[in-house]
Structure formats: structure tokens, C-alpha cells
Amino acid sequence: MILSVSRRCDIPAFFGKWFLNRLKEGFVCVRNPYNRHSVSKIMLDPQSVDCIVFWTKDAAPFLQFLPQIDALGYRYYFQFTLTPYGREIERNVGDKTQILQTFHTLSKRIGKERIIWRYDPILLTDGITAGWHIEKFREMCRKMQGYTEAVVISFLDEYQKLDKTKYRAPDEGEMLQIGCAFAGIAKEYGLHIQTCAEKISIPAEKGACIDKMLIERICGYPISVKKDKSQRMECLCAESIDIGEYDTCAHFCEYCYANHRKTTIERKMAAHDDASPLLIGNLEPTDSIHRRKTFNLHCLY
């Protein structure tokens, strides 16, 4: 099993102690987002979990838990998003200089092959142009050189909740301009560049964020896993189980697809309990709990 922690919220930034408790107890419960009283129980023993994929914008609060996760025998890597946007867009993301230092610290601890830099989403405003992105990307590549092997880029998806009077996705010409420039800059700094779920063809590999080949490299054995059919058609990720919940990320990024109302996020986060098997709240008498089938992906050819 590949465990996604998590596409839906930043568990390393906000819920690290809870996650460590789940590993120690050996299971986690996840509510069905469409039927809250239908709960999946997922076993988390190291024999069942081939690899954990952590998604974060700031791993600093999580670093203290890594020695215990290592001691328990889990394998993992990070998808670490770091953009040049300010707090007018990423409203509650911390100081970027400090986050860059955290990226460097994490890379030194776990190895540059196990930390993927995400520069996404690429969006435009009246003041943020294609040229602005190209300039900022070059600056950031210089600072990332030697601390990661790969960078993942994606362009903004204009979800219904997005304020389109402020933000827009690049048009096809702008995507080509940015993509071609980014590819050249990444090559200059020795970074392998990939796109995430993009239809447009630019000089970059179409990548998989939950990457079968990288997971095999980390695990040291081949795995048998299918493409994740629950994701968008363009997504090449391997199948995984995500243990996050929507409307639970306090970064409050303007472009986020997983958050809707700030009041909902604040209410849910107030209901978080580090001792609960659920990320938000606790199990209720009317919940129906089903053990989800999981199995080790180790295969022999």
C-alpha cells in the first residue's frame, strides 16, 4: 500500500503528532467525504505500508517526528511545495526564507532523492506575469541546486471557487513560454523537471507525483501497482490511499481546491483530537466502520 499524507490537507504542517500516534497504534480511520457515517479503517503496520508520500508547504513542525517514524521502520518521501508567492495569495504560509531553510535541512537529513520540489500552481495576476515567474524560478533553482533532484510544475486549474477577477491560468502561449523557459533553467541547474497532470506538451516529462519508480528506488524492491483511476485523466500517479480530509488546511491559500470556507476550516480544526483515530472529531455511535483491504505491493518478476 502507498499512503498519501495528504493531497487534501497539510498533515505534516498541522497534524504531525496525530499522524505519529496513528502509526504507533497501527491504524487510522477516514470518513467517506460523501457519506460521513461511512468510515474506513486502514491498517498502518510497516508490513502493509510500502511507502508514505508526504505533501507539505512547511515541514518544520514535522521534523521532530521523523526519528520516531524512522525507528518504526517506515519508508517515505516528500512532495514539498515552495513558491515565490506572498501572503496576499498564500495567506497563512510562513516566511519563505525559513521554509527554504527547512527544505535544505530536510534534504540533508533524508537525502535529496526523497524530497521533490513543487512549483505549483503557476497562476497569473495583473502583477504576476510569465516573465515574473521565469525570473523567480531561476532564483529559486539556484537556491535548490544540490538539495533536490527534481522539480514538479503545474498550471492553475480554475476551480469554481477561484476569484477569477484576481487570478487566472496562463493561456496556451503563456504556458509554452513558461514551460520552455523553466525546462532550460532546470537543466542549467541540474534539476529533472516534470509536469503534473498537464495536457500541454512542453520540454518536460509528464510526471507522476506518486511515482512507482521512485518508490521502488526508496523501497529497494519492485512493486505491483496500477494507475490511480480516481484522479484526473492526465494524472499518472500510482494508486494510493489518502488519509486527509477536505477543509482542514489552515494555510488558506487563495487557489486551493481542497478548501472552501474559512469558517468551516476553523470549525473542523477546533474539533481535531491528537488521540482520535479520525483526523477531525471522534467516532460516533451511528458510524459504520469497514476495514479497508490493504496489501503489500512487493512483487517478484
What confidence tens digit (pLDDT) does each residue in 114-171 have? 999 999 999 999 999 999 999 999 999 999 999 999 999 999 998 888 999 999 999 9
Mean pLDDT of 45-64: 97
**How long a stretch of residues is the chain?**
301
Mean pLDDT of 54-69: 98
Report CA-CA distances (Å) from 105 to 11, 40, 77, 101, 129. Answer: 19, 35, 14, 6, 31
pLDDT tens for each residue of 85-106: 999 999 999 999 999 999 999 9
User: H or E segment at 116?
Assistant: strand 115-122
What total number of domains does the chain contain? 1
For residue 301, being part of any structural domain is answered with no
Listing DSSP states for 5-32 in one string gives E-SSS-HHHH-HHHHHHHHHHTEEEEEE
Residue with cell 488558506: 252
Report CA-CA distances (Å) from 255 to 32, 198, 260. Answer: 24, 17, 10
Report how far residue 215's alpha carbon sits from residue 108's, in angstroms, rounded to the nearest whole number: 19
Report how far residue 292's alpha carbon sits from residue 162's, in angstroms, rounded to the nearest whole number: 34
Mean pLDDT for the chain overall = 96
For residue 74, being part of any structural domain is answered with yes
- The per-residue pLDDT for 296 is 80
User: What are 269's three cell numbers?
Assistant: 480544526
> Strands 27-32 and 241-242: what pairing?
unpaired
- Residue-number span of the structural domain to which 178 is assigned: 2-291
Strand ranges inside 169-265, DSSP E: 192-196, 205-207, 241-242
For residue 75, being part of any structural domain is answered with yes
- Residue 6: asked if its preceding bond is cis (omega within 30°), the reply is yes
The Cα angle at residue 162 between residues 161 and 166, in degrees rounded to 5: 145
For residue 260, being part of any structural domain is answered with yes
The Cα angle at residue 117 between residues 111 and 119, in degrees rounded to 5: 175
Mean pLDDT of 2-17: 97
- Is the pLDDT confidence value at 301 over 90? no
Helix axes 130-144, 172-188, angle to 10 degrees: 20
- Is the pLDDT confidence value at 112 over 60? yes
Report how far residue 255's alpha carbon sits from residue 259's, in angstroms, rounded to the nearest whole number: 9
Report how far residue 166's alpha carbon sits from residue 145's, in angstroms, rounded to the nearest whole number: 32
For residue 217, being part of any structural domain is answered with yes
The model's pTM: 0.96
For residue 296, being part of any structural domain is answered with no
For residue 297, being part of any structural domain is answered with no
User: What are 237's three cell numbers?
Assistant: 500517479
For residue 231, being part of any structural domain is answered with yes
